[in-house]
Structures are given as structure tokens and as C-alpha cells.
Chain A
Amino acid sequence: SYELTQPPSVSVSPGQTARITCSRDALPKQYAYWYQQKPGQAPVLVIYKDTERPSGIPERFSGSSSGTTVTLTISGVQAEDEADYYCQSADSSGTYYVFGTGTKVTVL
């Protein structure tokens, strides 16, 4: 089965840069997407198609892709960015969806 692996946690001081990786176990044929989820809330899309940012998402959120790894970068982290972050993609059929294991970002 298709898997996406993320580090369980990332800690960062305010104003610093947080980088969250998502490793796929196969060469990518589908784009990756990133979601932010705060306690008690539904996930919110923050990056789509590896690098694109939806309207309304702050510019400090960016995405990149290299080989089998995609990365979410939060530049100039703010306290409000403390949340769980999940990557998501699909298998080669495009109709079987997979989420990463999730990363808890703690702002120190």
C-alpha cells in the first residue's frame, strides 16, 4: 500500500523557519497537498499541487518537491501556526487517497 511518512513533531521558536517533510515510498505520479489542523477543528488546505498556495493562506506557507520527498516550509513562524500538519496524495490510480502520519508543530 502507498504510504506517506512525516516526522511526528517539529519544534520552532517564533520568527524562525519550520520545515516538515513528507516522504513517499514510490516515485510520485500524483501531486501532494498539505493541511493544517488545529484542535477541535476540521483540516484546512494550506498548499496544493506541491507548491501552490490557496487564496487566504499567508505567504509564509510554501511547498516544494524533490524526488520522493515533499516539504512544507513555514517561514517566520507565528504562535498561531501551532497545529498538526498532514500531507496527502493519491496512488497511481488517482482514486485511492492517502494521508501522511501527521506532524505536530510546536511554537516554543
Chain B
Amino acid sequence: QVQLVESGGGVVQPGRSLRLSCAASGFTFSTYGMHWVRQTPGKGLEWVALILFDGSNKFYADSVKGRFTVSRDNSKNTLYLQMNTLRTEDTAVYYCAYGVDYSNFDYWGQGTLVTVSS
């Protein structure tokens, strides 16, 4: 069955960097676009980034554009999110997710918590 396992979360100071990983299994990772979605504690969901199946194109939410970079290694079935110049408002649970097509999110990981605090 499909498994998405995020890692790399933790506590980081404002202005610093962090890299999240998402290990995928149970499906042909290299044929699907992959997303990052975040959820602020006690608040709603926010889409963060999309990378196409081959990494050829990447799309970002306005709130993270220029600071976050999504990438993937299809040989390792792993998705990444490099987060630079972190802000307190980036504090959230970060989920990796994918959909059968590019319209929605059929499968989700369990998330990893990122806390940006001094």
C-alpha cells in the first residue's frame, strides 16, 4: 500500500534553514507529481509546492516563493523541501501528498512538525 513518511522537522530559529524529506513507497514514485502541504497549529491547510513527476517544473505558493525549493530523487523515491530564511509564520505540520492526477491530493503522509522560534 501507499506509504509517505516525512522526516526532518524540528525547532529552528528565524532566518535559519531546514530540509524536509518524504520517503515514498507502494506506488511508482517516478510517474507522479508530488506536493507539500502545510497546516498551521489549530488552523487550516495551505498548499506549499508542487513538483512534476520528472522534476522538470516546480510551482510554489506566493507565501514561500523565493525561500523554499522543492526537489526529488526518483532513484531514491524521495521528495525534499529545502526551507530557507524561515519565519515564525512558517511554523506548521508539513505533509507530503500526491494525487492520481494533478488536481488534488489522494494520498497523504502523517506529517512532520516544523517550529520556527527564537
Contact = CB atoms under 8 A, between A and B. Distances in A.
B103 A90 contact: yes
A45 B106 contact: yes
A42 B104 contact: no
A94 B50 CA distance: 11
A99 B95 contact: no
B59 interface: yes
A95 B59 contact: yes
Interface of B is mostly: loop
A99 B103 contact: no
A85 to B, nearest CB: 11
A88 B46 CA distance: 10
Interface stretch (B14-22, B24-32, B108-116): B108-116
Interface string A35-53: 1010001111100110000
Contacts of A100: 44
A28 to B, nearest CB: 12
Contacts of A31: 103-104
Contact of B44 (A42, A45, A94, A102): A102
A45 B104 contact: yes
Given A33-B103, A45-B105, A99 B111 contact: no
List 7 tightest A-B contacts by C-beta distance, closest first: A97-B47, A42-B108, A33-B104, A99-B45, A95-B59, A102-B44, A86-B45
